[in-house]
Structure 1
Amino acid sequence: MHLRNSTAGYGAIPQTMHWITVALVILAWALGQFDDVFPKGAARAASLFVHISTGLAVIGILVLRLLWRLADPPPPIEHTILGVWLDRAGRLIHYILYGLLVAVPISGILLQFARGDTLPLFGLTEIASPWVADRGFARSVKEIHEVLANALIILAAFHAAAALLHHWVLRDRTLLRMLPLAWR
């Protein structure tokens, strides 16, 4: 397996960053959706810490992905019987996914600060909130954060369904190009 992209598919590095992002987004979303399952106190605080750390990791991986993409352009698009419109739709969906991968964690950081809480940086240090707590503003930011997170999950599910459609219906190599050799 090549580390870099080729005309035949994605390299091991972009594949790894893609699948790590998938795992982190699912974990962060699940912890955010089911935070009330954890009892108040240490368990809920630990869940929030992991949720925040996961969101920060998504931003870090995304920055690495974008830098890698500049240095190692993706393989050419697999053309299908649906033509240029499907290519354009796929490209648009990718841009929206990247935008949401930034917007969701940023809105989460704003939510933490709107609550007047510090932002833990992976347990190494904390960033103090630049604002005093504002419950009304925090509620609004939380609502935005939740809507964006749900939009990200829905769009990612659509993205996954499109990859399966490419594989099973259109019978092209779109899905195979992002799968590690062991999964093919």
Structure 2
Amino acid sequence: MTETIRYSNSQIALHWAVAVLVVGQYLFNEPIAQAWNAAANGLPVSFSPLILAHVGGGVLILALVIWRLVLKSQRAAPPPPDNEPALLKLAGQLAHWSLYGLLAAMSISGMAAWFGGLDAAAAAHSLLKVLLIALIGLHVLAVIFHHLILKSPILKRII
């Protein structure tokens, strides 16, 4: 059995911190959606800690994604398994860069909508939300496929 090359501890911590924050954003988005709709209809928006948590969570996700990208530039990701087909290697790279891009775009569009009152940003945020869910689902399925079918050590690198 070959040795598994892991991500650094900081890369692993950032990965899971972003994952937990993203789950929280989806689970607790109703208060901010209600606040957005109220503001769009000219109604007052009262303070809610869940609204603050959603806005703060989005800002924090963006900061952590930027930090992750800085780390990525300093410490490359572990190489794919030797026997992985070139198409899977390419798909993995595209998926990871797409995740970074979508996470950043979600944060930026959310801030532009909330702080700038931009309807187009809110519409983009809603569309990106669906794309991000789909890509996260694909990411999880790919990990399961690698672990159970290909028997590759991909999962061990990030745990």
The TM-score range, normalised by the shorter chain, is 0.7 to 0.9
Question: How far, CA to CA, are the matches of 2:144 and 2:34 in structure 1?
Answer: 33
Structure of greater relative contact order (alpha carbons < 8 Å, 6+ residues apart): 2
Q: Does 1:176 align with 2:147?
A: no
Q: Which of 60, 64, 69 is 2:63 aligned to?
A: 60
Question: 1:109 maps to what in 2?
Answer: 111
Per-residue CA deviations over 1:147-171 (Å, capped at 9, x if unaligned) read 1022112201210110011001110
Identity within the alignment, % = 27
Question: Within 5 Å, which residues of 2 pair with 1:117-156?
Answer: 137-138=118-119, 140-156=120-136
Question: Within 5 Å, which residues of 2 pair with 1:77-88?
Answer: 77-80=80-83, 83-88=85-90
Question: Within 5 Å, which residues of 2 pair with 1:4-19?
Answer: 8-19=5-16
Shift of 1:51: 0.3
Give the total of aligned pairs. 147
Whether the aligned pair in 2 keeps the contact of 1:79 and 1:87 (CA below 8 Å) is no
Counterpart amino acid of 1:48? I
3-state SS of paired residue (1:175): helix
3-state SS of paired residue (1:109): helix
Shift of 1:80: 4.0
Shift of 1:29: 2.0
Counterpart amino acid of 1:24? L
* Runs of 4+ deviating beyond 4 Å: none
Whether the aligned pair in 1 keeps the contact of 2:4 and 2:157 (CA below 8 Å) is no
Greater helix content: 2
Q: Which runs of 5+ in 2 are unaligned?
A: 36-44
TM-score (norm 2): 0.83
Q: Does 1:164 align with 2:144?
A: yes
TM-score (norm 1): 0.73
Q: Does 1:46 align with 2:46?
A: no
Shift of 1:21: 0.6
Shift of 1:79: 3.7
